[in-house]
């Protein structure tokens, strides 16, 4: 099918671009070859689109801590901001997207676990989060999961972290919703007393303009979630990504990104574990 005429090639490229935009539903610039490496091409980065403070899409504007770290790392790898093609990667699809090479890297509250390490590679971690509780700003009665006996707790449907709390404290009433935004609405109205998931996700929710000052993160984490950069198995970029993250931390840009994205949430990260040490690559 090689067509040597330049016009034919251009037409084919145009057609391909059209199809791609049509399929992507306007998801930004369309990718070039997709292979990692050269600075002349785009890099496809998977993020969450629906988590304010971490990865959030507002038209063509992408905001959040994950986005900031991803932009910094991509920049260090030789991609300018407009060479980044953002792709939505919901939790259930992250491994698949890496295995099928539809993204080059994933920054999407992606905890490094042994199980996942078997199918994908991880660089980082770039943040160590932990399961925590979000409560109303004036509520001092809840300091940790033990205080939840007889209280109402909200999390998203099928969340294992919430189930863990319920298993350990059977007196907890658990309500499950489609998203954390609903949980925050419940919390504000007083029907639930706490929302649980990773601390930085809670902080991100609480720091949106509408929620600022209304909630606080308890700050008593009871698990350790190391957020890594998901890479396709056998990727050669792990070292470079680690270097970029280390540089970001040393330069102070990392600290800035955390602060900027959790403003107004009365939140401070776990300083014993953060900023994190990079783990060696290639295990």
Match 């990104």 to its residue by tokens: 257
Report the nearest approach of other proteins to the CB of residue 23 (Å). Answer: 7
Strand blocks (E) in the chain: 43-47, 50-51, 55-58, 61-63, 84-88, 105-106, 121-129, 131-136, 152-156, 173-177, 194-198, 215-217, 225-231
Give 134 or 245: the residue with its C-beta nearer to other proteins. 134
Report the nearest approach of other proteins to the CB of residue 87 (Å). Answer: 6
Give 161 or 220: the residue with its C-beta nearer to other proteins. 161
Match 């909630």 to its residue by tokens: 215
Give 7 or 210: the residue with its C-beta nearer to other proteins. 210
- Which residues contact other proteins (rule: CB under 8 A)? 23-26, 49-52, 56-59, 87-88, 90, 92-93, 96-97, 99-100, 102, 152, 157-158, 173, 175-182, 184-186, 188-191, 205, 208-211
Contact 26, 19 (CB under 8 A): no
Give 132 or 193: the residue with its C-beta nearer to other proteins. 193
* Gap between the Cα atoms of 175 and 114, Å rounded: 29
* Gap between the Cα atoms of 21 and 224, Å rounded: 39
Cis before 193 (ω within 30): no
Report the nearest approach of other proteins to the CB of residue 99 (Å). Answer: 7
Report the nearest approach of other proteins to the CB of residue 217 (Å). Answer: 17
Give 37 or 190: the residue with its C-beta nearer to other proteins. 190
Report the nearest approach of other proteins to the CB of residue 181 (Å). Answer: 3
């Amino acid at each position: 099918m090689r067509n040597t005429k330049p016009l034919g090639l251009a037409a084919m490229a145009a057609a391909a671009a059209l199809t791609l935009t049509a399929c992507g539903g306007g998801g930004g610039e369309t990718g070039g070859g997709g292979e990692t490496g050269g600075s002349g091409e785009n890099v496809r980065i998977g993020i969450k689109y629906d988590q304010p403070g971490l990865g959030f899409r507002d038209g063509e504007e992408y905001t959040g801590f994950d986005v900031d770290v991803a932009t910094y790392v991509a920049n260090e790898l030789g991609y300018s901001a407009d060479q980044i093609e953002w792709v939505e990667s919901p939790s259930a699809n992250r491994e698949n997207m890496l295995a099928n090479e539809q993204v080059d890297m994933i920054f999407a509250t992606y905890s490094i676990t042994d199980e996942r390490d078997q199918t994908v590679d991880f660089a980082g971690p770039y943040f160590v989060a932990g399961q925590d509780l979000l409560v109303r700003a004036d509520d001092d009665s809840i300091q940790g999961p033990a205080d939840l006996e007889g209280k109402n707790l909200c999390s998203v449907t099928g969340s294992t972290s919430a189930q863990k709390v319920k298993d350990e404290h059977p007196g907890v009433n658990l309500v499950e919703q489609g998203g954390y935004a609903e949980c925050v609405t419940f919390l504000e109205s007083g029907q639930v007393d706490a929302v649980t998931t990773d601390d930085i996700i809670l902080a991100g929710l609480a720091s949106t303009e509408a929620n600022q000052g209304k909630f606080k993160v308890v700050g008593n984490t009871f698990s350790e979630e190391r957020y890594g950069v998901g890479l396709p198995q056998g990727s050669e970029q792990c070292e470079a990504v680690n270097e970029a993250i280390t540089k970001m931390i040393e330069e102070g840009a990392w600290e800035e990104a955390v602060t900027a994205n959790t403003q107004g949430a009365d939140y401070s990260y776990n300083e014993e574990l953060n900023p994190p040490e990079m783990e060696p690559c290639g295990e």
